[in-house]
Amino acid sequence: MQANLLRTIHLLALLQAQLYSLVQCWEILHILTPVLGDNLGSSKIISGDPQYSGNAQAASSGGAEGLCTNDLQFQGGADHPLDNPASLNPSSLDIPPGDIEDLWLQDTIHLGDLQTAADFVKELQGATLDDPSLGMSDKALYCLQNPLCNQPPTAIDNVTRLTIDLYIGTPSEATYKTVHRAILHFLLDLQLPSYYKVKCSVADLTGVESVVHDMCIKSCIAYTGPFLDLDSCPKCSEPQYNQFRLQTSSGQEKIPCQEFHTIPIGPQLQALYRSPESASCAHYLCNKVYHMFEDLEHADCLDEYLDVLHGTDLIGAFQDGCIREDDIVLMFSIDGAQLYAKKVSSCWIYIWVLLNLSPTERYKKHRVFVGSFIPGPNNPKNIDSFLFPGLQHLVALQKEGLRIWDVALQCEVDSKVFLALITADGPGMMHITGMVGYHSKHGCHLYCGMQGHREQHGKHYFPALLKPLDYDVEDCMYNDINMRHLPIPSYEKYHKNLHIVTTSPNQRQYCAQHLETGILKPSIFSGLDRSATLGLPHSVGSDIMHLAALNLPNLMLSLWHGTIDCTRPDDRSTWDWTVLQGNVWQTHGQAVASALHYLPTSFDCPPRNIADKITSSYKAWKFLLYLYGLGPGLLYGILPQRYFTNYCKLVLGIQLMNQHRITQENLCNAHLALLSFAEEFEDVYCQCMQTRIHFIHPCMHSLVHLLREVLRIGPPICSSQWTLERTIGNLGKEIKQHSC
Ligand SMILES: [Zn+2]
Ligand SMILES: [Zn+2]
């Protein structure tokens, strides 16, 4: 295998040059030429172009009329709007791009919150596996460094089996004890182990145990990293320990008011590789990459995208030697969850997805690794402190290596753990990347530099492509934006701007600089070694789940209902697209319900009457089926023609982009449809009116990024939040079952 990979080195050099220039500029045309044929350069698509408008179906059948060579170009970023924020801080001009070695030095950081963020990064960089603050027991650490080379004993006696079932099947220690007592009433002589003992048995069998850290009782911070030595919360001043117990024991009993659990990834990976079935499944990535490189010996480019490994970023990481044959490749995913229906308490969960497994395996419930549970009652005020233990463990593994007994190979392998992607929804992404929110001037988390427009007295920016008529808003006076010339995100640019923001001399300059750079603070993920991750902004995934199944349905329905805000002097009575109201809406809802009988059972949960259930039972999956499945049929004749045509372009683009297998032809058609949709949307709904800028939600901008995301990291579905949402759903169901 190693030899084969070496033999392909010369090919890889060619491949990289080709793929990278593909993303940058002309080569995409080379790839797309077989699809586009002689239509290249015929005429340019513009908003409402008669050759394309109303002809969305033409694209799906292979036509791409009206495409010009500029339509699929990307610029190298020469005029990137984020290029010159240093003008605000002249002293930063001499920082070489990418040189951040001195960034974490205390004397260059002047603001408290930035210094805290930098401290987390710095401490992460110094992580070691035997650091006691990591919280691993001596036994767990020994097992991690000396992996078991045998499987757990399969012959478990009936009593042990019963207690393990009981341990897994009951939601709490109290319930376990209740059932435990009940069984002993019935079978007096049974030697049934205690909750603690069975917990230890499970840890012994799997080699997996959680590490526990203290946290603020109001969920503000965790006592980790730079907060480790505090004894009260720096945000709300709540004490770390139970004050009654502390005082009555003269300071001896330190009982934390609240704790949270982290499950280190290393032992979980070791456990997976000890199972013959899982271990052989985990060879997928290595085998596929090998075959992909073989295929590329006979072809100029890939015909289709089926996985993240088909994207240029991962191919580049393999080529650069950042990922080797035996390495582990992970995706990180985080979200807030409402696990208790009746309790107003949110918690946060993060998971790891093992990209070494095939796409048909890695997203399954039993293949997903839970990283940590961060309990409520509130959202964390410093999420870095909660991520710290899990990332500290990861960084230590990256430095010291992870020894794995691979039962499929019957040998021990020394793996490096590569973190490819980090995913979250919009608000979550802001927390973990340290970038500004979506409604900021540079709100794009893919860091393309897109600048938003805002209304005259509005604080929120919206990613409008067209400058409104009679527009005179300070700091937004740029001309129309051509999404075909989307600048390329750059690691160097991001770090240069991060340096500028982080070293702001005072609050006033900091505010000006984060507005101009789109960066609020260093991300804790900056503490990972550059060779062990794609690195920001490249490691940010596009979240097609929230985009297609929640954000876009929310926007389109709020328009068709007429519930979207109306800014004076605009007048709702002039909105001729607000058709889903009154009887029409009720009749439409019934039509949706009636479609039930025509849907295959494999479509999972079918949409109900949307007029009755939109606020109660419509979740992501139902919105997806409704908007991109039933909608084109049921809204025909209801939506006025030009809005219907515009909507059909969205449907086409999302249907193609949402596939598990995206061909080059699909990609081209989807991109054309989505670009045309986004441009035409501004034409038909906003009509260049300043009062309608707020119609252009951030999701409109995310849509036109999808082409580049496929080229970069494969089909968006492979790095979506569906996996985490499903995990949260599974956990929620189990809690509800237990509480019944
Ligand atoms: Zn607090
Ligand atoms: Zn962008």
48 part of a folded domain: no
Instruction: Compute the distance between CA of residue 685 and CA of residue 679 in angstroms, rounded to an integer.
Output: 10
Last residue within a domain, chosen from 225, 259, 293: 259
Q: What ligand has the least distance to the C-alpha of 380?
A: 1
Q: What ligand has the least distance to the C-alpha of 219?
A: 1
DSSP state of 639: S
Mean pLDDT of 460-471: 86
Instruction: Compute the distance between CA of residue 146 and CA of residue 58 in angstroms, rounded to an integer.
Output: 60
Instruction: Tell me, yes or no, whether 382 and 441 share the same domain.
Output: no
Other Cβ atoms closer than 10 A to 338: 13
The DSSP result for 444-492, as a single string, is: -TT---PPPEE-TT-S-EE--SSPPTT---TT-------GGGPBPP-HH
Question: How much distance in Å is there from the Cα of 511 to the middle of ligand 1?
Answer: 25
Burial bucket for residue 331 (CB in 10 Å: 0-12, 13-18, 19+)? buried
pLDDT in tens, 607-621: 889 998 888 878 888
Question: How much distance in Å is there from the Cα of 374 to the middle of ligand 2?
Answer: 30
pLDDT on residue 38: 31
Least reliable range by pLDDT among 262-266, 343-347, 654-658: 343-347
72 part of a folded domain: no
Instruction: Tell me, yes or no, whether 570 and 711 share the same domain.
Output: yes
Total number of domains constituting the chain: 4
Instruction: Tell me, yes or no, whether 554 and 640 share the same domain.
Output: yes
Query: Cα 654 to the chain's mean position, in Å?
Result: 18
106 part of a folded domain: yes
Q: Are 321 and 410 in contact (CB under 8 A)?
A: no
Structure tokens at 286: 């290595």
Instruction: Tell me, yes or no, whether 344 and 299 share the same domain.
Output: yes
Instruction: Tell me, yes or no, whether 729 and 717 share the same domain.
Output: no
Burial bucket for residue 168 (CB in 10 Å: 0-12, 13-18, 19+)? exposed
468 part of a folded domain: yes
Question: How much distance in Å is there from the Cα of 729 to the middle of ligand 1?
Answer: 28
Phi and psi at residue 190, in whole multiples of 5°?
-70, 135
662-663 vs 453-454, strand pairing mode: unpaired
701 part of a folded domain: yes
Write the CA distances from 130 to 140, 259, 397, 529, integer angstroms.
Answer: 11, 21, 11, 19
Which helix or strand (DSSP H or E) is residue 382 part of?
A: none
Question: Dihedral (C-alpha) 118, 120, 122, 124: value to the nearest 10 degrees?
Answer: -150
Question: How much distance in Å is there from the Cα of 70 to the middle of ligand 2?
Answer: 18
Question: How much distance in Å is there from the Cα of 445 to the middle of ligand 2?
Answer: 7
pLDDT in tens, 672-690: 999 999 999 999 999 999 9
Question: How much distance in Å is there from the Cα of 488 to the middle of ligand 2?
Answer: 9
How does residue 159 score in pLDDT terms, banded at 50, 70 and 90?
A: confident
Place of tokens 């004397």: 107
pLDDT in tens, 358-405: 999 999 988 999 999 999 888 999 999 999 999 999 999 999 999 999
Instruction: Compute the distance between CA of residue 330 and CA of residue 131 in angstroms, rounded to an integer.
Output: 23
Residue type, 632: P
Whether the per-residue pLDDT at 471 is higher than 90: the answer is no
Q: Are 630 and 595 in contact (CB under 8 A)?
A: yes
Instruction: Tell me, yes or no, whether 405 and 334 share the same domain.
Output: yes
25 part of a folded domain: no
Mean pLDDT of 5-22: 31
Question: How much distance in Å is there from the Cα of 217 to the middle of ligand 1?
Answer: 6
- Of the chain, the percentage scoring pLDDT greater than 70 comes to 82
Which helix or strand (DSSP H or E) is residue 11 part of?
A: helix 9-24
Could you check whether the bond before residue 569 is cis, i.e. omega within 30 degrees of 0? yes
Structure tokens at 515: 């507005």
Q: Are 64 and 672 in contact (CB under 8 A)?
A: yes
Domain range holding 117?
85-124+433-532
Instruction: Tell me, yes or no, whether 231 and 288 share the same domain.
Output: no
39 part of a folded domain: no
Last residue within a domain, chosen from 259, 286, 318: 259
Strand partners of residue 372: 262, 350
Least reliable range by pLDDT among 128-142, 151-165, 553-567, 711-725: 151-165
Residue type, 403: R
Q: What ligand has the least distance to the C-alpha of 214?
A: 1
Instruction: Tell me, yes or no, whether 469 and 527 share the same domain.
Output: yes
Query: Cα 348 to the chain's mean position, in Å?
Result: 14
Write the CA distances from 73 to 31, 59, 77, 450, integer angstroms.
Answer: 12, 19, 12, 16
Whether the per-residue pLDDT at 151 is higher than 70: the answer is no
37 part of a folded domain: no
Q: Which residues surround ligand 2, an ion (CB under 5 A)?
A: 444, 446, 448, 450
* Total length of the chain: 740
Instruction: Tell me, yes or no, whether 420 and 481 share the same domain.
Output: no
**Nearest CA among 71, 1, 6 for reference residue 36:** 71
Question: How much distance in Å is there from the Cα of 621 to the middle of ligand 2?
Answer: 26
Mean pLDDT, the chain, integer: 81
Question: How much distance in Å is there from the Cα of 26 to the middle of ligand 2?
Answer: 20
Last residue within a domain, chosen from 478, 508, 532: 532
**Nearest CA among 35, 10, 669, 18 for reference residue 301:** 18
Mean pLDDT of 615-630: 89
Instruction: Tell me, yes or no, whether 699 and 623 share the same domain.
Output: yes
- Of the chain, the percentage scoring pLDDT greater than 90 comes to 48
How does residue 239 score in pLDDT terms, banded at 50, 70 and 90?
A: very high
Instruction: Tell me, yes or no, whether 323 and 355 share the same domain.
Output: yes
Question: How much distance in Å is there from the Cα of 171 to the middle of ligand 1?
Answer: 27
Question: How much distance in Å is there from the Cα of 441 to the middle of ligand 2?
Answer: 11
Instruction: Tell me, yes or no, whether 552 and 672 share the same domain.
Output: yes
